[in-house]
Amino acid sequence: MFEVNGTYANRKGEYTVLEINPPKMRVRFTEDGSEAELKIELQARIWENIAAEYEAKAASRNARAARRSAVAAANHYIKVISVPAIDEMNFPGWPERIVMAPPADNDIKLQSGDRLIFYALETQTFFAVATITGDSKTTNPKEFFFTVPVETAEFFPIDIDAVSSKLDKGADIDSVELESQPRFKRLRLEAEEFYPINEDDFELLAEALTEVAEEEEDAEDEEDDYEEDDE
């Protein structure tokens, strides 16, 4: 394991191996230049533990860097859906927490980490904030009750970050101004389309929806407290 002129470490600090004479070796510590005779077997166990700690810290740093990179590279979209029965939060893909990707010839290419704001055509409201959480899988859209004229499509898993309890309780289209989509309310929108927006617009909508969700939660808590008092 150890080699002459190799650099290792124990709990005292880093050292360089000067000479190996089993079962001991002579080393020089980097910090103060002192030398010592150390048992090879004991130092091997210590070094293995320290090396494992180094690897764990490096892996943690890499994971944090990857998360920061994913956040920095995330795209932001408005996802348009159609729900004929507006009193029911039920439309293709919602129960399974998935979204269908645009066709392959579309300029928009979804990826893990992208952020979505859901918009309902019938109520003209933004009602949910979501994040794509993984890679896509290809399957028949009919498995998720999509009625599109294709046999296969790509689907991405999503997590719901905030949602209004009812479609018509979300953020009304007339209550927001989108810098990156200034004509959004005048566009001929179609279900299952994605419209890119900038991060500022996304955060504006996400904040509005988070406030709606929190107000609804507070109202439900008050109602529960009222019912308990009646009992």
Spatial separation of the C-alpha atoms in residues 231 and 225, rounded to whole Å: 10
The overall average pLDDT reported for the chain is: 87
Whether 3 shows a pLDDT value over 50: the answer reads: yes
Contacts for 29 with CB less than 8 Å, ≥ 6 apart = 12, 13, 14, 15, 35, 36
Q: Same domain for 102 and 67?
A: no
In a domain, 45, yes or no: yes
pTM score: 0.65
Residue 136 lies in domain = 75-230
The string of pLDDT tens digits covering residues 22-68 is: 999 999 999 999 999 999 999 999 999 888 888 888 887 776 655 55
Q: Same domain for 161 and 50?
A: no
Spatial separation of the C-alpha atoms in residues 127 and 151, rounded to whole Å: 29
Give, as one character, the DSSP assignment of residue 55: H
Q: What single letter denotes the amino acid at residue 22?
A: P
Q: Same domain for 87 and 190?
A: yes
In a domain, 2, yes or no: no
185-202 average pLDDT score: 93
Contacts for 7 with CB less than 8 Å, ≥ 6 apart = 14, 15, 16, 17, 30
- For residue 129, give Cα distances in angstroms to 3, 100, 103, 117, 170: 56, 16, 22, 5, 11
CA-nearest of 6, 108, 97 to 47 is 6
Q: Same domain for 47 and 139?
A: no
Instruction: Count up the domains in the chain and report the number.
Output: 2
Whether 71 shows a pLDDT value over 60: the answer reads: no
